[in-house]
Structure 1
Amino acid sequence: MDSRRLLRTSATALAAAGLILSGCSGGSDAAASRTTAAARQASPSSSPGALKTFYGQKLTWRDCGVTGFQCATLRAPLDYAKPDGEQIDLAVSRVRATGPGKRLGSLLVNPGGPGGSAVGYLQGYAGVGYPAPVRARYDMVAVDPRGVARSEPVECLTGPQMDTFTQVDQTPDDPAEVNALSAAFKDFSAGCAKESRAILPHVSTVETARDMDILRAVLGDEKLSYVGASYGTFLGATYAELFPDRVGRLVLDGAMDPSLPAIDLNRDQTAGFETSFRAFAADCVTKPDCPLGTASVDAAGAALKKFFRDVDAEPVPTGESRALGESLATTGVIAAMYDEGAWPQLREALTQAIGGEGSGLLALADSYYEREADGTYANLMFANAAVNCLDLPAAYAGPADVSKAVPSFEKASPVFGRGLAWAALNCTSWPTPPTGGPHRITAEGAAPILVVGTTRDPATPYKWAQSLAGQLSSGTLLTYEGDGHTAYGRGSDCIDTAINTYLLDGTPPADGKRCS
């Protein structure tokens, strides 16, 4: 499983985007300086200049084939350094404000990833599932980021090739298995270079944030109002860094910390999955049918590790050609960590798998990878790697660095640490050099920005929200004391009321407000 920065929001499918650990790290001060300088150069404070054609375009809205939704195509430069060069088409969708009440403009939404389809999220959840008072006052809008889904998607491997890739052993026990894992990552990278060479250097978060500003202007909004979940918080914070004077009402839910190199992001997220697993285990051991036993949380963790070792040695059948080995089993378990509502499904799947039938865990893993029943995959994992490996330098120079890092990962998570340490190897052989680096985002001059953190979030640990809120000059921290990934729309009236109030009248909650 590739687990660097696919930050899933639980509102889509099982969890719409969730891996932070795909292996970028070690950003230098020079890289951070380049990123900041590029950001300043990228954001003219007044006229869009050479981008005037893009800012002045008119969207042609058409029926999407989904009741109530309209679709359009937004044009942007492929390379912002060459605005007169090749262009890229970005898929946009909206549902108009329903009323009553005065329309407040457009509210852009992004579910995370990188690689999650914002259009799919809007049409499948946000456009009908966001609180009615918000949908009454805003046109709900989404744009698939460049390289994602309907917007010039990055492609890398065929369905059968992805099936092979997702089954490669990510806890190598000997040099041959290390070589096999390294070769799998190299083949993945080579596939991306072959299938997506033109777009691969141009899917950075900075470029996507600039696309969002073009969309803001084309929609006729003076300021950007936005709800970003998971990786979408990094996208929103990057927008605020580039265009602080154009920030309207920004909600950053399940926040990332942009100041961390990816090795630290990886370790922190590994610890987050351990925290979430222990919450699951604490619930499981109170039930007589817990497949991990009823002795203690620690004993449950030991039982899960034993199960992983067992299926590593002898995969269990699933009723189809793919057997359940350790990699798919681990992915299935991690998938269920994003939402405590999936815990009963995980208990049942583990019970079956320990009994020798792996279809339940395989189904969870397939939902994580967005694999369809016909064996095809969405481009989620391809876009995820492409953005991650462009945004930050690679975590490791090679397998020897991973071996040195494994103990610290295992300390962060005795259950998942070894596998997640090796999963961070994938950017090492990436064909496109990184253009960004870790750095603090202050967004001086921006209007109040609402940062939301969940105390037992598996994918975006709570301390990341604390850090981002502290970095932003106008950041306000809202805390959900609970489980799962992200907080808005997950059942807390306290959280939803605070966010709705901010979106509707611009008043953020008191900094440090806590909800349960």
Structure 2
Amino acid sequence: MRRRVGAALAAALLLAGCSDGGDGKKAAPPPTANGGATSVPMPDADKIDWGRCPEGGNFECGTLSVPVDYADADGPKVDIALLRKKATGDDRIGALVVNPGGPGGSGISFARYAASAFPKDVRERYDIVGFDPRGVGRSAPVKCLSDTEMDAYTQIDQTPDTPDEENAAVDGAAGFGKSCQENTDQLLGHVSTAEAARDMDQIREALGDDRLNYLGASYGTFLGATYAELFPDKVGRFVLDGAIDPSQNAATANRVQGGGFETALVAYVDDCLAGGSCFLGADREAALARIRGLLATLDANPIPGDAKRQVNEPIATTGILSPLYSRDQWPELTRALQSAFRGDGGPLLDLSDMYYERGADGRYANLMYANAAVNCLDSPPAATTPDQVKAQVAEFEATSPTFGRALAWAGLTCGTWPLSATGRPHEIKAAGAAPILVVGTTRDPATPYTWSQALASQLESGHLLTYDGDGHTAYLRGSTCVDSAVDSYLLTGSPPPDNKTCN
């Protein structure tokens, strides 16, 4: 479950008005001034036709046809792929639509997970429904680089030290966007979060629910909040876990997220030191210096990763960031760092591949392609030229000495994107919506806790639940207190007391 940081560095470490989208057509209208929007009537023939899933199992799969461009409801359509696991009990509340984040994460895969991982009481009373948002997975996926080209793209230096390296970074980012434009049809200009939120309302209507019940994690919180802004009267029970602050511009969001990963790295180092005889050093500063020194060394002298690829600084950076999402993966980070210090980059490469969703066969999922496509439509870029990046570097490094410089340069992905942004940063109030539960983790690396505080305060019906802990998102991460509060809200509609904190 991820959001953004920039596309060349994990396509933005996975993150998030009416204007020309760059293809000569208008994008979906932005939220109206009062936050409301109207549903687009759909013919009966376009309802979901459920059937058996290709992979089998006790699930139903189907598609729902929706407009590519909501400003042209009678124009071309795109099929949204869905998966459902029906409620196992008789006292059904309705459907619970889920989204794992990204943007670019598969809601179908997340629903399969949720159908067994969510508590029994929740599964008894809700149909669990997941969908791949437009441009993602099975829903007309955005297509960009070939697998071989993607391998090369992930190795582009994101901390350029020379004019040639700067040119390579700019050319790489621009080439990435150009490939997406060449290999994806007109949908590339219509994969914004606002349009995905409108799709969710079509899904709600097709499911036969008067209100949408929803659980979104990471970027999924932005998708959910956007839905609440567009359709406040259709909000049912909403859980937004690991929230995005929709009011921040791209540069601020990337910089603050860098600080979140720095906080997580410090927590990892402190945990290592607390165990005694930490392999990184005798104290925090020494340990951090050794990790930063490794990255600097790999910038100049990559080490072997597998039979065809080396591990350089950008691969190692992604390999370090990846396990910071979950405390459970810290042992993997330890093994990878220890191997790298011995000259073996294989474990770091494996962690990087996991993050990029690169399979053992060398094939990439479309996660990173969809991630960039959505992010670059949702908000104007953090920087459009190397000079603008250089002006931001000092502030980025002050927030994140380890990752800041790379994250500043990663902003060029959207800065060179071939289509103009159709969204703008703004506060989301969702006036008139039912109570919305926002869950924030104090040491969340990818969606810093301040973002959950911000979203909960912006939403007129927002209620903040705090998890004092490590890792990305909180629900089903081991806190009985968090899980009980979320489950109770989903089952009764009553949020926990304001500003409740769990350990």
TM-score, length-normalised on structure 1?
0.92
Cross-structure match for 1:349: 336
Letter in 2 for 1:228: G
Question: Is residue 86 from structure 1 mapped to residue 86 from structure 2 by the alignment?
Answer: no
Partner of 2:274: helix, strand, or coil? coil
Q: Deviations over 1:224-262 (max 9, x none)?
A: 000000000000000000000000000000000000101
CA distance in 2, matches of 1:185, 1:346: 28
Cross-structure match for 2:322: 335
Partner of 1:38: helix, strand, or coil? coil
Question: Is residue 426 from structure 1 mapped to residue 416 from structure 2 by the alignment?
Answer: no
State which of 371, 382, 385 in structure 2 corresponds to 1:398: 385
**Cα distance, 1:121 vs structure 2:** 1.3
Partner of 1:397: helix, strand, or coil? coil
Letter in 2 for 1:278: V
CA distance in 1, matches of 2:444, 2:353: 22
Does the CA-based 8 Å contact 1:75-1:89 persist in structure 2? yes
CA distance in 1, matches of 2:45, 2:202: 9
Cross-structure match for 1:151: 139
State which of 269, 275, 290 in structure 2 corresponds to 1:281: 269
State which of 280, 283, 286 in structure 2 corresponds to 1:299: 286
Question: Is residue 241 from structure 1 mapped to residue 233 from structure 2 by the alignment?
Answer: no
Question: Is residue 179 from structure 1 mapped to residue 167 from structure 2 by the alignment?
Answer: yes
Q: Deviations over 1:293-348 (max 9, x none)?
A: 2x111111111010001111111112321011111000000001100000011101
CA distance in 2, matches of 1:350, 1:84: 55
Does the CA-based 8 Å contact 2:49-2:63 persist in structure 1? yes
Letter in 1 for 2:30: A
**Closer/same/farther in 2, CA of residues 498 and 55 from structure 1, 3 Å limit:** farther
Does the CA-based 8 Å contact 2:3-2:102 persist in structure 1? no
**Closer/same/farther in 2, CA of residues 269 and 298 from structure 1, 3 Å limit:** same
Matches within 5 A, 1:481-496: 481-496=468-483
Does the CA-based 8 Å contact 1:77-1:85 persist in structure 2? yes
Q: Deviations over 1:71-92 (max 9, x none)?
A: 0011100000001110000100
Cross-structure match for 1:134: 122
State which of 281, 287, 304 in structure 2 corresponds to 1:317: 304
**Closer/same/farther in 2, CA of residues 367 and 22 from structure 1, 3 Å limit:** closer
5+ long unaligned stretches in structure 1: 8-17
Letter in 1 for 2:110: Y
**Closer/same/farther in 2, CA of residues 301 and 378 from structure 1, 3 Å limit:** same
Partner of 2:109: helix, strand, or coil? helix
State which of 182, 195, 198 in structure 1 corresponds to 2:183: 195
Quote the sequence identity (%).
52
Letter in 2 for 1:4: R
Question: Is residue 510 from structure 1 mapped to residue 497 from structure 2 by the alignment?
Answer: yes
CA distance in 2, matches of 1:56, 1:212: 18
**Cα distance, 1:43 vs structure 2:** 8.4
Letter in 2 for 1:112: G
Cross-structure match for 1:96: 86
Partner of 1:94: helix, strand, or coil? strand
Q: Which runs of 4+ in 1 moved over 4 A?
A: 18-24, 34-37, 41-46
**Cα distance, 1:485 vs structure 2:** 0.2
CA distance in 2, matches of 1:45, 1:203: 18
Cross-structure match for 1:365: 352
**Cα distance, 1:361 vs structure 2:** 0.6
Cross-structure match for 2:100: 111
Q: Number of aligned pairs? A: 494
Cross-structure match for 1:13: none
CA distance in 1, matches of 2:172, 2:485: 46
Does the CA-based 8 Å contact 1:3-1:424 persist in structure 2? no
**Closer/same/farther in 2, CA of residues 141 and 452 from structure 1, 3 Å limit:** same
CA distance in 2, matches of 1:38, 1:3: 21
**Closer/same/farther in 2, CA of residues 6 and 306 from structure 1, 3 Å limit:** closer
Q: Deviations over 1:392-432 (max 9, x none)?
A: 01111200011110000110011111111111111111111
Does the CA-based 8 Å contact 2:5-2:410 persist in structure 1? no
Cross-structure match for 2:488: 501
**Cα distance, 1:57 vs structure 2:** 3.2
RMSD, aligned CA: 2.4
CA distance in 2, matches of 1:55, 1:368: 40
Does the CA-based 8 Å contact 1:6-1:115 persist in structure 2? no
CA distance in 2, matches of 1:267, 1:365: 21
Cross-structure match for 1:215: 203
Partner of 1:157: helix, strand, or coil? coil
Question: Is residue 255 from structure 1 mapped to residue 243 from structure 2 by the alignment?
Answer: yes
**Closer/same/farther in 2, CA of residues 54 and 464 from structure 1, 3 Å limit:** farther
CA distance in 2, matches of 1:129, 1:442: 31
Does the CA-based 8 Å contact 1:56-1:218 persist in structure 2? no
**Cα distance, 1:289 vs structure 2:** 5.6
State which of 31, 48, 70 in structure 1 corresponds to 2:60: 70
CA distance in 1, matches of 2:342, 2:150: 27
**Closer/same/farther in 2, CA of residues 450 and 313 from structure 1, 3 Å limit:** same
**Cα distance, 1:53 vs structure 2:** 2.5
5+ long unaligned stretches in structure 2: none
